[in-house]
């Protein structure tokens, strides 16, 4: 089936769709980056609220640029190692036929690409040995070590296993978290499309899309739309984009009035809780908090007290009895 041809001015997504996905929840007011002020609508319960009309406008620009890169044969790599982002990154990258890093960004993945390529070759070699039954011929200990190495390599390289050359674009969830990937892309002049919350420095990336980076549904819609840009650039049919063009002009005031207060309160509390955890981690240098071990303060009874008092006396008596025996 032929894909629908969309005009560059057709609204990619409406602010209402973004609102339903919880994209508007920013971080705690104290954690904001002043450079994100232009994308902030206001604040509620000590939490910044992102202006979704501006998010939609940023997405419109990023979508067209990314689609153009792919239509010219460019490859894209999706990066998101936060636990809440891993599933969306992997699934949307696979859907769009792109590369991805969802567990750990290895230093030098872009800037030291030849070394990473050698590790990928090693991973493929071990996989081929396992497939051909060659590992069964090795001693058990050596075979176990090879399988352990394979699992370790696969966790970090599975999404870029088939990469042959550097990607022409990087899609990132939370550029603060993925600062190494962003820095490497910047050195190589690879454009970065980033989902960034209110604590992000927009100057570190090429195309910032202001959005909640802690919500699974928020990450899913933003990454899904950017994956749609890749799909459409290859001549496919988008899954999320262009679905609600009629609602694209709603104002923030009108949209926020229609939000369920109870659901909004739950989302705000969850966001504040995540911020509190992040701030504690930062203070502790990323070390986990010490667990409190409750000691047994059970009061001793009279029999236990008498036994403890009698023990030193008995030991002293035994010592005195032993001394004459030594003299004799």
138-174 pLDDT per residue, tens? 888 988 998 999 999 988 899 999 998 999 999 999 9
Rounded to two decimals, what is the model's pTM?
A: 0.78
Dist. CA 107–CA 181, nearest whole Å: 8
Boundary (domain end) residue, out of 126, 142, 165: 165
Confidence band for 1, pLDDT divided at 50, 70 and 90: very low
Task: Output 82 or 245, whichever has higher pLDDT.
Answer: 82
The answer to whether residues 171 and 62 belong to one domain is yes
118 shares a domain with 67: no
Query: Does residue 182 share a domain with residue 69?
Result: yes
Residue 95 lies in a domain: yes
The kind and range of the H/E element at 202 are none
Residue 306, helix vs strand vs coil:
helix
**293 and 188, same structural domain?**
yes
Mean pLDDT value across the chain: 84
d(CA 56, CA 328): 101
Domain, as residue range, for 224: 1-104+167-297
Region 183-187 average pLDDT: 96
Q: What's the CATH code of the domain at 133? A: 1.10.287
Decide if 316 is inside a domain: no
4-19 tens-digit pLDDT: 677 777 889 999 899 9
Percent residues over pLDDT 70 in the chain:
77
Asked if 255 and 203 sit in the same domain, the reply is: yes
Identify whether 317 is part of a domain. no
Contacts of 25 (CB under 8 A, 6+ apart): 47, 49, 50, 212, 214, 215, 218, 267, 268, 271
- Say how many domains are in the chain: 2
Mean pLDDT value across residues 216-220: 95
57 and 206 assigned to the same domain: yes
User: Looking at the predicted structure, is the pLDDT value of residue 254 above 80?
Assistant: no
Same-domain pairing of 176 and 262: yes
């Amino acid at each position: 089936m032929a894909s629908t041809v969309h005009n560059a001015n057709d609204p990619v997504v409406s602010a209402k769709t973004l609102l339903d996905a919880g994209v508007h929840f920013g971080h705690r007011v104290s954690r904001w980056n002043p450079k994100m002020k232009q994308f902030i609508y206001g604040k509620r319960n000590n939490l910044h609220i992102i202006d979704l009309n501006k998010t939609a406008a940023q997405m419109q620009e990023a979508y067209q640029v990314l689609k153009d890169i792919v239509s010219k044969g460019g490859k894209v790599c999706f990066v998101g190692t936060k636990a809440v982002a891993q599933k969306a990154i992997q699934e949307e990258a696979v859907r769009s036929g792109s590369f991805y890093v969802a567990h750990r960004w290895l230093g030098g993945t872009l800037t030291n690409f030849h070394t990473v390529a050698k590790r990928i070759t090693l991973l493929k070699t071990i996989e081929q040995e396992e497939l051909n039954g060659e590992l069964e011929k090795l001693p058990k200990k050596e075979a176990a070590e090879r399988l352990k190495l394979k699992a370790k390599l696969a966790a970090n390289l599975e999404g870029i296993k088939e990469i042959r050359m550097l990607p022409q674009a990087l899609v990132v969830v939370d550029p603060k978290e993925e600062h190494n990937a962003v820095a490497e892309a910047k050195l190589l002049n690879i454009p970065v499309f980033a989902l960034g919350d209110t604590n992000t420095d927009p100057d570190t990336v090429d195309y910032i899309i202001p959005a909640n980076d802690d919500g699974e549904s928020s990450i899913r819609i933003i990454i899904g739309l950017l994956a749609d840009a890749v799909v459409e650039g290859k001549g496919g049919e988008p899954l999320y984009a262009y679905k609600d063009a009629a609602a694209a002009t709603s104002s923030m005031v009108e949209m926020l009035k229609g939000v369920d207060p109870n659901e909004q309160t739950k989302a705000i509390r969850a966001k504040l809780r995540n911020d509190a955890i992040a701030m504690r981690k930062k203070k502790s240098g990323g070390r986990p908090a010490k667990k409190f071990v409750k000691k047994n303060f059970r009061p001793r009874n009279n029999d236990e007290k008498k036994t403890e008092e009698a023990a030193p006396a008995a030991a002293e008596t035994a010592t005195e009895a032993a001394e004459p025996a030594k003299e004799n």
